Amino acid sequence: MTGSLEYGETWVYESLLGTIPGVHVSSRTAIGIQFLGFEAAIVVVAVVYDLWAAVVPGTVAVVVATVGSWLMLRFSRAVRELPTPTAYRRLLFGSSIDVVLGVVAFVALVTYLFVVDPQGSKAGSSLLVDLFGADPPALAIGLALLVLWDVVYRIGTCWWASVVGLWRAITYAFEPGPTRAYQRIDAINVGFAAVQLLLVPLVADHEVLLVAVVGHVVAVAVVATLSIVVQGRKEARGVASPDHR
């Protein structure tokens, strides 16, 4: 899927299949496998353990992760088609900060699900108990955590892309064509975040998670909008761009 692209030119997600010897699939196929594989696993676990209450939330999470994968690929390919400053490209793809943010968010989520939520819930109820019962099967919890990691990693990537986009807009100016293209890329990132609002109905009764999801989407929208405005003003004013290195 990554072809001849070198290290530092792709998201970690894009690089994964390229590390498997003999495996060469298109992006569309990889995304299809991602969706069908996770969805099939959710249904099988629901059938085996009679956990049908978890199917809809699980499917929504898989849809968010899958659409996120598609938008990540659109975003990264659009960036690589432009006259991209090396420093911006390395910061965006090669720093692995997207993974770091994903890990931090995942640890916070797991802590909430297994410690904070059960301790603060009445009558022993919690999100995990509501979905998987008081004695959840290990396989079901493992699959849930894997799907949640898929979602959280994309949230971390979305946030990092918006921050680096604002840095790019402040640091560099481009000709009118590339300026418009970068603004469209920033708009893709807003859409990337907006897809995550599909999670809101699932966490509506859990204030901490609700604030985290909505707050993230609003923050990305604000930062990406600032990037669009700043990049446009630089081009409109004819601000000279520094050397694209």
Residue 133 sits in which domain range?
A: 12-236
What pLDDT is stored for residue 241 in this prediction? Answer: 52
What was the pLDDT predicted at 95?
A: 82
Q: Which pTM does this prediction carry?
A: 0.85
Tens-digit pLDDT profile for residues 26-61: 778 888 888 999 999 999 999 999 999 999 999 999
Q: How confident is the model at residue 118 (pLDDT cuts 50, 70, 90)?
A: confident
Burial 103-134 (b: 16+ CB within 10 A, else e): eebbeebeebbeeebeeeeeeeebbbbebbee
How many domains does the chain contain in total?
1
**How many residues would you count in the chain?**
245
Q: Does residue 91 or residue 21 have the better pLDDT?
A: 91
Residue 6 lies in a domain: no
190-213 tens-digit pLDDT: 998 999 999 999 999 889 999 999
Residue 208 lies in a domain: yes
Yes or no: say if 147 and 38 are a contact pair by the CB < 8 Å rule.
Answer: yes
CB of 147 within 8 A of CB of 58? Answer: yes
Q: Cβ of 16: how many Cβ atoms within 10 Å?
A: 14
Residue 242 lies in a domain: no
Q: Any idea what DSSP says for residue 133? A: -
Is residue 75 included in any domain, yes or no?
A: yes
In angstroms, how far is CA 12 from the centroid of its own chain? Answer: 12
